[in-house]
Amino acid sequence: MEEFDFLPKLPKSNLDDRTFDELLEECFRRIPLYCPEWTDRNPSDPGITLIELFAWLVHQMLLRFNQIPLRMYVRFLEILGIRLAPPTAARTNITFYLTTDLPSAYTIPTGAEVATERTETTEAIIFSTDEDLTIGKPILRHFLTAPTADDPPQAVSDRTNHWERLGASAWRGSEQSLFAEQPQPGNCFYLALGSESLLNGNVLAITFYGATGTPTGISPQAPPRRWEAWDGKRWQPVLLEESNDKTRGFSFNEAQYAGNPEQGANVVLHLPQNFPDTSFSGYSGHWLRCVLTAPQSHQPAYIHSPRVTGLAVRTIGGTIQASQSRLIREENLGTSNGKPGQIFQLFFRPILARREGEHIEVTPPGGLPQIWKEVTDFAESGFEDLHYTIDSLNGTVQFGPLIREPEALKVQMPLGDRSVASLSGETFLGDELPQNLLQHQYGAIPPRGSVITMVAYRVGGGKEGNVQAGTLRFPHPTIPYVDRVTNHHRALNGADAQSLKQAVLQVPGMLRTRDRAVTAEDFEVLTQQAGGGAIARVKCLSGTASQPAGRVSLLVVPQANTNAIERGFGLPPEQFALTSKLQQQVLNYLDERRLLGVQVQLQVPEYVGVAVEAQVALEPAYNNPKARREKLNQLQVALYRYLNPLSGGPEGTGWPFGSSVHTSEIVTLLERTVGVHYIKAVLLFALRRQGETWQRQTAPEQSINPGPFGLICSWASDRQRSSHDVRQINS
């Protein structure tokens, strides 16, 4: 068993501290007592060899014997109820595109599997949908225009009065302007949709039929407008990428059907997961809008308003959240023998945290199935409670144990087919013995012959699930009416199973917090517990000058896949995005443990990228092209290891919050690499976020400061050129 070097070092002694030499000397002293005729004890004597072998074996046994205190520490963790957390599943949104426009709403059920490509060296990584995805049939209720994009919409004009409805989802008629005759920023139009089913997460194709000979004056590649959808709280962007607008900003440049506007062109919008039916200005529906924005530099504005002669809407797919998991249904665990403390083994393991519908059913002989409840332990379980526990890491299911109280039964002896017992000074016959004082059943026992079934559970999880965007492309198996699938965004928050060392590190914090959030450290410990392994680091800002009284702000760094570091790509800030589901999971957990009146807010740190340009001289032994490439790549990997929020920094536990990186640190890091003769120059360049892009500073800096609540990170800017440029010079 390994030593926990990070624990406080208190004075302690071994259970037996004799060394090998002391054991050998003791054996030599016993020779005259047990074998006085043995007088020639030279080192070449075979007997001396046997004694040395015996002393060595005893010494090895004592080494193992002295590890008992460490084993007792682990047993102490078990008594506290500490279990190693299982892997955490990465999550992402998967979009399913249909082969054709279906006549009615179509549902893709929960558990639909999509996988990455399987290669000769890597297995496919499987994701399964977390909920049913319903792809509805939209109805175009209203087409409205407004001079300004107000919240809520005001001064709207209904333009469908001059059009004729063609079916439930299309209108055609005379020309209508989308914006004012002299377009101004803020002009907008609204589409109010209806549907017999939900449109949450649907992919919508809106066909615009344009009027001929109405130039708009904009650049078709960069139209100054934005598409948004109302999610019940705010307007969310829904145009995933510019190529999804085949109208080219309603200019109908290079549109479909040989560029004829009258034939129509599509705008594909990816609707939000929450897309409710809302009433604005007397109109109800699911709301979309297109807002004319102020032109940016080198972006022409609309000179004339685009004009259309009709609209049509249809759904072409849908998006739903999926996690890296496989759903196992109706697994038969075996038959109960009617005894307490039965243990059954799930076939797959480790298993993920259970969700609604993932439980055990017990079917007694000749009876109806019973739904039993999972508990963390049996401390509060009575003998009639239908409870069980699951060890997520090894997949074992246990039913309630029977605990006998030996202190209560002082004397018990056989007397024919009865027994006589003395209990607390009183004598009872066997059939009168108060059994509730002799033993206690924690949790009910499945009746003998009952069939134990795990209705559903999920397996998977781990850092390998943090896959790149566009890699989940293969339905497993093929899904009817689905043409293709993809994930437009990378998967996040996957984490490996907790190690014993990680569990030991959490013990002091757990004992101090006692499941209550009072101090800053309490909030940090409980936030990591709430994440279930998906959160790597937490920094509480409570008590700082920037935080008002009664508010607790937490900087959260989610887990990420660090395998890219060894390939020389680093960890981009996008991998540390705090998803809404993880955020809600943590807030719900803290709400049950915080003090009344305390407001909790989760934030992501301000990440600052670092690009290093270094000139190094290598030792003469590396004076060949292949060796130089390998050594320079090794230096780049060392920089990515050092400059990342999870495993970087001087201690190798993640770059410290608010800590600057200095040129001298990089020089020291490169110089201690084997094969480096000397360092000629090291330049540091900061990469800071500006809007949706990252801008690299043109001037080098001696040190880069991420700010008091920031974190240093480093990543490859693209697949061709790393953000670190280490070059070899002649030595």
CA-angle at 568, arms to 613 and 640, nearest 5° = 60
Q: Which pLDDT does position 556 carry in this prediction? A: 94
Confidence of residue 639 (pLDDT cuts 50, 70, 90): very high
pTM for this entry? 0.75
Report pLDDT for 647.
87
pLDDT, residue 333, reads: 96
Average pLDDT over residues 640-655: 89
Q: What are the helix (H) ranges across 208-286?
A: 256-259
- Per-residue pLDDT band for 570 (boundaries 50, 70, 90) equals confident
pLDDT at 1 over 60: no
Among 99-103, 144-148, 329-333, 688-692, the range scoring the smallest mean pLDDT is: 688-692
Give the pLDDT of residue 434. 54
Q: Which two tokens stand for residue 388?
A: 């069980």
Query: Where is average pLDDT lowest: 394-398, 495-499, 509-513, 615-619?
Result: 509-513
The conformation of residue 187, written as its DSSP 8-state character, comes to: -
Q: What is the pLDDT of residue 15?
A: 60
Q: Which residue has the higher pLDDT, 172 or 417?
A: 172
pLDDT computed for residue 621 by the predictor: 86
Per-residue pLDDT at 415: 41
Query: What is the arithmetic mean of pLDDT over 91-102?
Result: 94
Length of the chain: 731
What pLDDT, on the 0 to 100 scale, is given for residue 75?
74
Which residues are CB-neighbours of 414 under 8 A, at least 6 positions away?
none
Pairing type for strands 725-729 and 451-460 reads unpaired
Confidence at 572, pLDDT banded by 50, 70, 90: confident
Give yes or no for residue 512 having a pLDDT over 80. Answer: no
- Ranges 108-122, 402-416, 570-584, most confident: 108-122
| DSSP letter assigned to residue 88 | B
- Model pLDDT, residue 263: 81
The residue-averaged pLDDT of 242-252 equals 89
Q: What pLDDT sits at residue 717?
A: 59
Q: pLDDT-derived band of residue 418, with 50, 70 and 90 as boundaries?
A: very low
Q: Contact, 650 vs 627, CB < 8 A? A: no
- Checking if the pLDDT of 4 tops 60, the result is no
What confidence category does residue 719 fall into, taking pLDDT thresholds of 50, 70 and 90?
very low
Spatial contact of 622 and 731, defined as CB atoms under 8 Å apart: no
Asked if pLDDT for residue 167 goes beyond 90, the answer is no
Write the pLDDT tens digit of every residue in 441-477. 899 999 999 999 999 999 999 989 999 999 999 998 8
CA pseudo-torsion sign 350, 353, 359, 360: positive
Per-residue model confidence (pLDDT) at position 2: 53
Q: Tens digit of pLDDT for each residue in 594-622? A: 888 889 999 999 999 999 999 999 988 88
Q: Strand 606-618 and strand 676-690: pairing?
A: antiparallel
Q: What pLDDT is recorded for position 341? A: 92
Exposed (0-12), middle (13-18) or buried (19+): which is 66, by Cβ within 10 Å? middle
- Amino acid residing at 491: A
Res 423: pLDDT: 44
| Percent of the residues in the chain that have a pLDDT greater than 70, as a whole number | 89
Q: Which DSSP category does 487 fall into?
A: -
pLDDT in tens, 61-87: 877 766 666 667 777 777 777 778 889
- C-alpha to C-alpha distance for 632 and 640, rounded to whole angstroms: 13
In this predicted structure, what is the pLDDT of residue 414?
46
- What token pair was written down for 159? 């333009």
pLDDT band at residue 5 using 50, 70 and 90 as cut-offs: low
Q: What is the pLDDT of residue 24?
A: 87
What totals of helices (H) and strands (E) does the chain contain, helices first? 11, 41
Q: Taking residues 281-310, what's their average pLDDT?
A: 90
Helix (H) or strand (E) segment spanning residue 512: helix 500-513
Average model confidence (pLDDT) across the chain: 85
Lowest mean pLDDT among 52-66, 166-180, 253-267: 253-267
Q: Average of pLDDT values for 383-402?
A: 92
303: nearest Cα among 354, 232, 249: 249
**From CA 653, how far away is CA 577, in angstroms rounded?**
19
Q: Fill in the amino acid letter for 388.
A: Y
